[in-house]
Structure 1
């Protein structure tokens, strides 16, 4: 039996394998402006950061403000790429279907992106009504506000909840809020999570076993 009463999942990189897709779109658009970026470099430098951080990063690379329609075009292009190419993180559907306690998703992305990604991958019915977006409260990881909001709305205290994250900023946000956090390390490019997370795991097949104490 788990000591946790609620699981809070990050979305990108934990539920859906979206980060390489969205990063590919971002890099293509940035390079059209002269940013000279690669997908591998960008994943390593920007994984788990907010869109606003990414936009500032690109603006510094090109030494100029981004076009006013850049974010809108990025959303349109990335949403279309998600519809065509998005897949679940391997093993995560089995985890969701077998959880015996409440769970939700808390993500840095806008709610329409979260809903699209869950819908495309067939997970939306499991999370309907329990979707929390940083855009709704204008607070982004590594600030803990998104997880605190999710826990309170779900009816639990931080020490009753477990956060599942794959980025350093997400792990730090959970810790700052007083949560235990399991770090999913399949794409932990800098091996940063082990020293920060409560526990780490490299395959979703291991998560259900880890939840049992």
Structure 2
């Protein structure tokens, strides 16, 4: 076993991995876009924008429309998500117990804004597990599927990319982590996940895909290396 293969840091995506937010967010995003003249369904938002930042989604839609949304768009989107998440957001099943069983350092690297990450983790009782190690796509030039966010998180945590394992639920997230030369465990246990998602995450480069967080600690026990993760 090569010491360079050891996992020293586990980087978690937030939405759909720590908090079961994606289905709620897709509905809100679709409703607000439609109200601002871009008719789209929650399913279409899921297909196009899952795992990407709201900033990038807005720029893509504005380019397609050939016009910019008013400032009220972002304010309305944030306010509606705040309300819906405050009323309905839940942690991913078993995540709290799972985090308690991990011996490695952990952090969050999410496409959400710093405020959204902190709020979602606070609402679900997970903030104390990660604070202050919360990293947002707003802190880098390019969001997922570019590797910038994961490389930034690893640098902030003083950990070489080769010693990081990422837990992700989206193809852009898996693609970003692989581009950062990190091992990726795909997760399909969120309420937004569909049949075929596991195959899509594997095709994007996930070494293994799980649908129950309780299986995670054994996969990345300190005695296991990257090659062993890939064949579990």
TM-score by length of 1: 0.91
Q: Secondary structure at the match of 1:104?
A: strand
Partner residue of 1:210 out of 212, 216, 219: 219
Q: Which aligned segments of 4 or more residues in structure 1 are displaced greater than 6 angstroms?
A: none
The reply on whether 1:192 has 2:200 as its aligned counterpart is: yes
Partner residue of 1:125 out of 123, 128, 131: 128
Q: Which residue of 2 aligns with 1:100?
A: 103
Cα distance, 1:41 vs structure 2: 2.4
Q: Which residue of 2 aligns with 1:144?
A: 147
Query: Is the 8 Å Cα contact of residues 166 and 183 (structure 2) preserved in structure 1?
Result: yes
Paired with 2:78 and 2:49, the residues of 1 have a C-alpha distance of: 17
Paired with 1:206 and 1:118, the residues of 2 have a C-alpha distance of: 22
Paired with 1:61 and 1:157, the residues of 2 have a C-alpha distance of: 39
Partner residue of 2:184 out of 178, 181, 198: 181
Cα distance, 1:65 vs structure 2: 2.9
Query: Is the 8 Å Cα contact of residues 46 and 54 (structure 1) preserved in structure 2?
Result: yes
Query: Is the 8 Å Cα contact of residues 35 and 61 (structure 1) preserved in structure 2?
Result: no
Q: Which residue of 1 aligns with 2:8?
A: 5
Cα distance, 1:63 vs structure 2: 5.8
TM-score by length of 2: 0.84
**Superposition map of 1:12-23 within 5 A:** 12-23=15-26
Higher mean C-alpha deviation, range 54-63 or range 133-142: 54-63
Paired with 1:48 and 1:60, the residues of 2 have a C-alpha distance of: 20
**Cα deviations across residues 160-187 of structure 1 (Å, max 9, x unaligned)?**
1101111111111111111111111232
In the alignment, structure 2 segments of 5+ residues that lack a partner are 225-232
Paired with 2:219 and 2:61, the residues of 1 have a C-alpha distance of: 39
C-alpha distance 134-53 of structure 1, shift in aligned 2 (>3 A): closer
Cα distance, 1:56 vs structure 2: 3.7
Q: Which residue of 2 aligns with 1:40?
A: 43
Partner residue of 1:30 out of 29, 33, 39: 33
Question: What count of residue pairs does the alignment treat as equivalent?
Answer: 212
Higher mean C-alpha deviation, range 186-195 or range 89-98: 186-195
RMSD across aligned positions (CA): 1.9
Cα distance, 1:64 vs structure 2: 4.1
Cα distance, 1:62 vs structure 2: 5.5
Q: Which residue of 2 aligns with 1:79?
A: 82
**Superposition map of 1:105-116 within 5 A:** 105-116=108-119
Paired with 1:10 and 1:28, the residues of 2 have a C-alpha distance of: 24
